[in-house]
Amino acid sequence: MANKKLCLALFSGSVDKLTAAGVILGGAAAEDMDVEIFVLLQAAFAFKKENALTNERVAEITDKKDEFLASLKRLEAPHWTEAFKTAKEMTNVKIHICGFAGKVWNGYKIDDFIDLADDIVGIGEYMTAAEEADINLFI
Amino acid sequence: MTQEELKALTVDKSVDARGTSCPGPLLAAKKAIGQIEKGQIMEVLSADEGTKRDIPKWCTKKGYEYLGTVEESGYFKIYLRK
């Protein structure tokens, strides 16, 4: 039986939403799903090499940011890049950087982004993946 | 299986995921299941409440047999047969 497919449109460049995405990717990995991630606008900022580990922006409940980040440490939750890496090691995960999003943040080549990223694509790739997926998410 | 039967099981693989939060225990189980043969028994130790539901559902989806859960002090043991 073919693996189920998850298509994730990842718009957010904030640590809270990226951490949530990492948890969902863990679930997908446990079930051997094929995953296609499309890194859109603000997420492309977070995927830039110089930003991935230093970016601590949060999208929600921003007044509790320090408490949130401290809790992640207390719980020994893996950084979102580690969660993504683990999922890539355990199942078929492809991470595509949106070409337009990359350019917004001065990322023109795949080498401008962290090694988790596989390639730079256009919106047509996303449309095809979304059509074929069993589950579509926008984060 | 009854609690007594679960406690009396001889396990082939034990996975201690008590130090992790969701999805850590599930991923630990996924990694470890590849190290046992079909028919062998694995236990997963977790202190993450969600694991109690995650592992049985994961077993159903992957074709493993969920045997039951034993509560311990501050954590629990989940048993399954590959």
B42-61 pLDDT tens trace: 999 999 999 999 999 999 99
What pLDDT score was predicted for residue A114? 98
Of the candidate CATH numbers 3.40.50.300, 3.40.1260.10, 2.20.25.190, 3.40.50.1000, the domain formed by A5-138 belongs to 3.40.1260.10
Q: What is the 3-state secondary structure (H, E, C) of A97-135?
A: EEHHHHHHCCCCCHHHECCCCCEEECHHHHHHHHHHCCE
User: Which residues in chain A land under pLDDT 70?
Assistant: none
pLDDT of residue B80: 98
Would you list the DSSP string of B18-73? TT--TTHHHHHHHHHHTTS-TT-EEEEEE--TTHHHHHHHHHHHHT-EEEEEEE-S
Sequence spans of domains, chain B: 3-81
C-beta of residue B28 within 8 angstroms of C-beta of residue B18: no
ipTM reported for the complex, 2 dp: 0.86
Average pLDDT over chain B reads: 96
| Overall pTM surpassing 0.90 (yes/no) | yes
Name every chain B residue with its beta carbon within 8 A of the beta carbon of A30. Answer: 23, 26-27, 29-30, 54, 58
Give yes or no for residue B22 having a pLDDT over 90: yes
Quote the pLDDT of residue A1: 74
Arch. (CATH architecture) of B3-81: 2-Layer Sandwich (3.30)
The pLDDT of B27-44, averaged and rounded, is 97
Residues of B in contact with A3 (CB under 8 A): none
Give yes or no: B22 in active site: yes
Q: Would you list which residues of chain A are within 8 Å, Cβ to Cβ, of chain B?
A: 23, 26-27, 29-32, 75-77, 86, 90
**Residues of A with CB below 8 A from B62's CB?**
31-32
Query: Which residue type, as a one-letter code, is found at position A78?
Result: P
